[in-house]
């Protein structure tokens, strides 16, 4: 493997998380940097929760151009930033931070990533979107649907209290969507109207590849032209998507979302278009290496 050429003027980019060693962003971002011939390097930074403010001060001192934040920093970093975009505020989480003249600005590129493959699909915003799960990724999905002015967004969860808290958290948000919350037993009434079903739960993720959040019987309730979208990126396709395809549905996996959220972040840092094909290739390679 050839690494980036480091010189006296190489600019730092990176990702903070705890742990961070499983992140796929370093191979993806460094492949893009190498392809563009840029004098940047993207590094993983394991930052313990109680060292977050120190890390930000260090990054400022080192002239770090920007970085991604992953678990457990996505919410905790918000009060430490000088500005936060409306999308990040609506989602309640920051995944991308960049330097401005007035300090660190945080935003969230997951909406861009989520919507990217849907831009190729027609008419999905005119019907109901059923979102399985009500965690962090579901927030980006709801905000993306709101941005696209979706007719109806129905979030399905297993814990009624968490569902109510989820609903309440959007009350004053500009990206609220036409949002309702439901428990899993309500699926038989929701699925027949669904134009898009999004899995935001980890059910079906490697290594639990033989599981799916929906049964074949539940898929049979969906309209024939339904789109199935699984945010999980390994395996690809998941059992959820295989079942949907057997039903005749259009299937979208989580790989493009992952690439496009990274590409949107890189574009903010370098102010130039990101090579998404190269990033996708690097992501697939990294995922394959992980499985051997
Ligand atoms: P999270 O915040 O932990 O949320 C997970 C949600 O799934 C919660 O609502 C949880 O319910 C629900 N859930 C978990 N296990 C379940 C089960 N057995 N049955 C029913 N519901 C279950 O996680 P996240 O950050 O949103 O991530 C969720 C998935 O999205 C992961 O697979 C992640 O890899 C994927 N993701 C992909 C991308 C991408 O770029 N492609 C980006 C972000 C996330 P409770 O709240 O009741 O526990």
Summarised one tens digit per residue, pLDDT across range 111-131 is: 999 999 999 999 999 999 999
Pair 61, 82: CB distance under 8 Å: no
What's the pLDDT at 177?
77
Summarised one tens digit per residue, pLDDT across range 17-29 is: 999 999 999 999 9
For the CA of 159, the nearest atom of ligand 1: 47
Cα 243 to ligand 1 centre (Å) = 19
Look-up of token digits 């905000």: 143
Cα 137 to ligand 1 centre (Å) = 7
Residue 161 has pLDDT above 60, yes or no: yes
Pair 55, 45: CB distance under 8 Å: yes
State the Cα–Cα distance between residues 77 and 32, nearest whole angstrom.
26
Summarised one tens digit per residue, pLDDT across range 38-84 is: 999 999 999 999 999 999 999 999 999 999 999 999 999 999 999 99
What's the pLDDT at 175?
80
Q: Is 195 a catalytic residue?
A: no
For the CA of 133, the nearest atom of ligand 1: 9
What's the pLDDT at 3?
66
Summarised one tens digit per residue, pLDDT across range 205-226 is: 999 999 999 999 999 999 999 9
What's the pLDDT at 290?
81
Q: Are strands 250-252 and 227-230 parallel, antiparallel or unpaired?
A: parallel
Mean pLDDT of 224-244: 96
Cα 79 to ligand 1 centre (Å) = 25
What's the pLDDT at 120?
93
Pair 175, 146: CB distance under 8 Å: yes
What's the pLDDT at 104?
98
Residue to mutate (ligand 1; options 135, 184, 232; most atoms within 8 A of CB): 135
Residue 291 has pLDDT above 80, yes or no: no
Pair 29, 42: CB distance under 8 Å: yes
What's the pLDDT at 145?
96
What's the pLDDT at 164?
98
pTM: 0.95
Look-up of token digits 């969860």: 157
Closest CA to 175 of 111, 99, 267: 111
What's the pLDDT at 172?
86
Any ligand 1 atom below 6 A from CB of 202: yes
Residue to mutate (ligand 1; options 133, 241, 256; most atoms within 8 A of CB): 133
What are the tokens at 120? Answer: 């190729």
Residue to mutate (ligand 1; options 130, 202, 212; most atoms within 8 A of CB): 202
Summarised one tens digit per residue, pLDDT across range 264-289 is: 999 999 999 999 999 999 999 999 99
Pair 96, 107: CB distance under 8 Å: yes
Cα 256 to ligand 1 centre (Å) = 17
Q: Is 122 exposed, middle or buried (0-12, 13-18, 19+ CB in 10 A)?
A: exposed
Summarised one tens digit per residue, pLDDT across range 133-147 is: 999 999 999 999 999
Any ligand 1 atom below 6 A from CB of 92: no
Helix (H) or strand (E) holding 221: none
CA count, 13 A, side-chain hemisphere, 36:
22
Cα 26 to ligand 1 centre (Å) = 23
Per DSSP, what are the bridge partners of residue 152? Answer: 128
Pair 227, 280: CB distance under 8 Å: no
State the Cα–Cα distance between residues 63 and 69, nearest whole angstrom.
17
> pLDDT-based confidence at 1, cuts 50/70/90?
low
For the chain, the 3-state helix, strand and coil shares in percent, each to the nearest 5, are 40, 20, 40
* Mean pLDDT, all residues of the chain: 95
What's the pLDDT at 5?
83
Mean pLDDT of 160-183: 92
- Listed in sequence order, the DSSP H helices in 106-159 are 110-118, 136-147
Summarised one tens digit per residue, pLDDT across range 84-105 is: 999 999 899 999 999 999 999 9
> pLDDT-based confidence at 2, cuts 50/70/90?
low
Any ligand 1 atom below 6 A from CB of 128: no
Pair 4, 34: CB distance under 8 Å: yes
What's the pLDDT at 292?
65
Q: How many CB atoms lie within 10 A of CB 225?
A: 14
């Amino acid at each position: 493997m050839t690494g980036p050429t480091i010189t006296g003027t190489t600019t730092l980019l990176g990702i903070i998380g705890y742990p961070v060693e499983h992140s796929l962003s370093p191979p993806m971002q460094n492949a893009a940097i190498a392809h563009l011939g840029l004098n940047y390097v993207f590094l993983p930074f394991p930052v313990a929760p109680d060292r977050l403010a120190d890390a930000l001060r260090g990054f400022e001192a080192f002239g770090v151009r920007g970085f991604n934040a992953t678990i457990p920093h996505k919410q905790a970093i918000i009060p430490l930033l000088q500005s936060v975009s409306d999308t990040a505020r609506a989602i309640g989480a920051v995944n991308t931070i960049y330097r401005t003249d007035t300090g660190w600005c945080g935003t969230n590129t997951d909406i861009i990533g989520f919507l990217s493959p849907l831009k190729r699909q027609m008419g999905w915003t005119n019907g109901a979107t059923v979102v399985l799960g009500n965690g962090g990724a579901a927030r980006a999905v709801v905000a993306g649907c709101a941005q696209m002015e979706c007719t109806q967004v129905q979030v399905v969860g297993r814990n009624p209290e968490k569902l109510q808290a989820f609903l309440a958290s959007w009350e004053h948000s500009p990206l609220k969507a036409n949002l309702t919350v439901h428990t899993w037993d309500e699926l038989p009434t929701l699925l027949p109207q669904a134009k898009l079903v999004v899995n935001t739960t980890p059910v079906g993720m490697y290594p639990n590849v033989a599981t799916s959040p929906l049964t074949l019987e539940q898929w049979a309730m969906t309209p024939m032209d339904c789109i199935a979208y699984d945010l999980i990126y390994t395996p690809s396709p998941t059992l959820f998507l295989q079942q949907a395809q057997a039903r005749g549905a259009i299937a979208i996996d989580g790989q493009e979302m992952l690439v496009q959220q990274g590409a949107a972040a890189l574009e903010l840092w370098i102010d130039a278009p990101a090579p998404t094909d190269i990033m996708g290739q690097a992501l697939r390679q990294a995922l394959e290496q992980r499985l051997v």
